[in-house]
Amino acid sequence: MLNDHAEAGTDSRRTPRQLTIEVPAPLHRKLIAYGEALARETGQAEPIPPAKIAPPMIAGYINSDKEFAKLWRTRETS
């Protein structure tokens, strides 16, 4: 049986997922400051919230891990 995503023609592996995390207060303050600085640099009127800047940061961190990349490629081909 096809799920709703398959019926709609989308790849369910690419559908965004909700993730709730708890971060230490100092890290949260840094994420807020980073969002403010990034908004200034890019000419945006509003600061970019931590929930919007954290996913690309996490992806960049994971994508830079060469050992994990090897493990991931092995997982994807098996």
Closest among 19, 21, 47 to 33, alpha carbons compared: 47
Q: pTM to 2 decimals? A: 0.70
Decide if 28 is inside a domain.
yes
Decide if 56 is inside a domain.
yes
Decide if 11 is inside a domain.
no
* Separation CA 67–CA 74 (nearest Å): 11
Each residue of 9-38: pLDDT tens digit? 667 788 989 999 999 999 999 999 999 999
pLDDT at 43 over 80: yes
Domain containing 38: what range?
22-77
Total structural domains within the chain: 1
pLDDT band at 2 (very low <50, low <70, confident <90, very high): very low
Calculate mean pLDDT across residues 32-46: 96
pLDDT (0 to 100) of residue 11? 72
